Amino acid sequence: MSQHAESGTLATAPQLITYADRLGGTIAGLHDLLSGPLEGAFGGVHLLPFYRTFDGADAGFDPEDHTCVDARLGTWDDVRALSRDRVVMADVIVNHMSSASAQFQDVLARGDASPYAGMFLTMSTVFPDGATEEDLLGIYRPRPGLPFTALRLGDQRRLVWTTFTEQQIDLDIHHPATWTYLSTVVDRLTGAGVRLLRLDAVGYAGKRAGTDCFLTEDCMRFIRRIRDHARARGAEVLVEVHGHYRQQLEIARSVDHVYDFALPPLVLHALHAGDPVPLHNWLAVRPGNSFTVLDTHDGIGIVDVGPSVLRPGEEGLLTEDQIDKLVEAIHTASGGGSRAATGAAASNLDLYQVNCTFYDALGADDDRYLLARMIQLFVPGTPQIYYVGLLAGRNDLDLLARTGVGRDVNRHRFTAGEITSALRRPLVKSLLAALRFRAAHPAFGGAFTHRTEGTTIELRWQLGEHEAVLSADVATSAFTVEASGPDRLALRSGSAA
């Protein structure tokens, strides 16, 4: 048994994670949903990239202009209006810029004569004296192969650093022009009322020779610099890092928030294997300043619970055998949909993730899915619900077939009619009731304890006379919620039927 207290931050109530174009169509349309049928469920929203352009090579994470709202989605005034009603989180894409950006296009044309030339990393930036095979093979990258793309910059052919795709050109965080650019982005966002800044792929910033180029000391200094700049403007930062769980524990000490990326696979393991012990063990040590997720715009992380080349010789939260069985269980539960979208089966590879909606990862079983969400809502931290997960969406195999991008299986574009239909489903109604309960009940501002026995797990919150308790059997998906006061939640297994 262990205890945690909710930290005093900008964000404690549940948040929605969504693209504006895929839920509501525009920023204003999303605002209408949050103020209409979703009212009371979310105290905040993570507005996934809405910059120009939002529909590039990586669904907005390769913006041509990070300081400009894509006119097809709205304006900065729409962002300000949204931020007046709730806490808004937005992405600061710190590792790279789009190859179509004005800055990189100038470098392509003028090479070293461009004032932006030093912003962009080449292999020789990090290895000015050359690199050995051992140096290059030691670089940590989430996709196969080396992180370089051969391009002609002016009159020279160079190996440009591209961690993710050829359209995403890595930045040199040590160059003054890079800081000017990124601080301008932070100022533009906070000026529009954004109070939570998600540092996307920040672990890959700060490459240095002689390291694996991931979460280096340079990277950590850079994170602290952005954190301080944001805090001076009334904002907080959430650091997005997939890696060995001990790295998450370490980085949590110097930032405002981290993701609990270990939670999704541990919940899936508990429900597929009928084994709550690894989840129970993680609850005893996890950072208190976590954002809890089960699904995001990316895949379900596996490296976050397993052994990792990033920490050789250190065990994970699950064994390799447990992970193998979990991945196969997801593939089976999804009818093979996740297998078609994961690893070498799809482009835009993330070798450490399984691409699947969380609903399909549990075999589209309403009771198991609702229990998974209840566990998420009872775990300390700020719960974030992805828009596909909110509507209990299925794998979008048609979109996957059209794009060949694995993560698109979990990025469905909901029409107005599909949203209306989904909101009528008993499962979605139950989930919204649970979110409103989590947002309103005072017990969640108190002390948290947990215990497990056999296949059962109990998560308890208490603040004075206020109490909320989730009791669940992960082997059968049977659960009950007991709570004090007028904000009781009449929810138990079978409620989604």
Instruction: Quote the pLDDT of residue 157.
Output: 96
Dist. CA 115–CA 103, nearest whole Å: 9
- Phi and psi for 48 in degrees, rounded to 5? -60, 160
- The residue from 200, 260, 360, 396 that is catalytic is 200
pLDDT confidence of residue 57? 81
Q: Is 350 annotated as a binding residue?
A: yes
How far are the Cα atoms of 110, 187, 450 from residue 105, in angstroms, in the given order? Answer: 9, 24, 54
352 among annotated binding-site residues? yes
**Residue in the structure block whose two tokens are 């981290």:** 258
> Is 200 among the residues known to form the active site?
yes
DSSP string, 457-470: EEEEEEETTEEEEE
What does pLDDT average to in each consecutive run of 10 residues of the chain (497 residues)? Answer: 41 91 97 97 97 88 93 98 96 95 97 96 96 95 89 96 94 96 97 97 95 95 97 96 91 94 98 98 96 96 88 91 94 95 60 89 98 98 98 97 93 97 97 95 95 98 96 97 78 66
- Measured between alpha carbons, how far is 335 from 439 in angstroms, rounded to an integer? 35
Determine if residue 295 is labeled as part of a ligand binding site. no
At 482, give phi and psi (nearest 5°): -120, 135
The SS3 assignment for 258 reads strand
**Residue 480: C-alpha distances to residues 230, 348, 368, 436 (Å):** 41, 41, 13, 17
Q: What are phi and psi of 366, to 5 degrees?
A: -60, -45
Q: Is 369 flagged in the annotation as binding? A: no
Give 62: exposed, middle or buried? Use CB within 10 Å, 0-12, 13-18, 19+: buried
Is 240 tagged catalytic? yes
432 is in an annotated binding site: no
- Does 137 count as an annotated binding residue? no
Residue 314 counted as an annotated binding residue: no
Does 91 appear as a known binding residue? no
d(CA 309, CA 286): 21
Name every residue whose Cβ is closer than 8 Å to that of residue 130 and which is 6 or more positions away in sequence: none
Is 198 annotated as ligand-binding? yes
Q: Which residue has the tokens 């005093």?
A: 8
Phi, psi of 471 (to 5 degrees): -120, 130
Reported as a single tens digit per residue, the pLDDT across 328-356 is: 999 999 999 999 998 766 544 455 789 99
Q: What is the pTM of this model?
A: 0.94
* Strand pairing class (447-453; 382-386): unpaired
Pairwise CA distance, residues 139 & 251, whole Å = 20
What whole-number distance in Å separates Cα of residue 443 and Cα of residue 469?
A: 10
Using N-to-C axis directions, what is the helix angle for 27-35 and 76-85, rounded to 10°?
A: 20
H or E element, residue 419 = helix 416-423
Q: Could you tell me which of 283, 284, 267, 205 has the C-alpha nearest to residue 239?
A: 205
467 neighbors 484 (Cβ within 8 angstroms): yes
Q: In 86-122, which ranges are continuous DSSP H helix?
A: 102-110
DSSP secondary structure code for residue 53 in this structure: P
Could you give all domains of the chain from N- to C-terminal order, each with its CATH number?
A: 9-94+175-445 (3.20.20.80), 102-170 (3.90.400.10)
In what helix (H) or strand (E) does residue 434 lie, and over which residues does it extend? Answer: helix 426-440
pLDDT tens, residue by residue, 444-494: 999 999 999 999 999 999 999 999 999 999 999 999 999 988 756 667 766
Q: Which of 21, 170, 240, 295 is catalytic?
A: 240
Q: How far is residue 320 CA from its own chain's centroid?
A: 23
Query: Is residue 304 annotated as involved in ligand binding?
Result: no
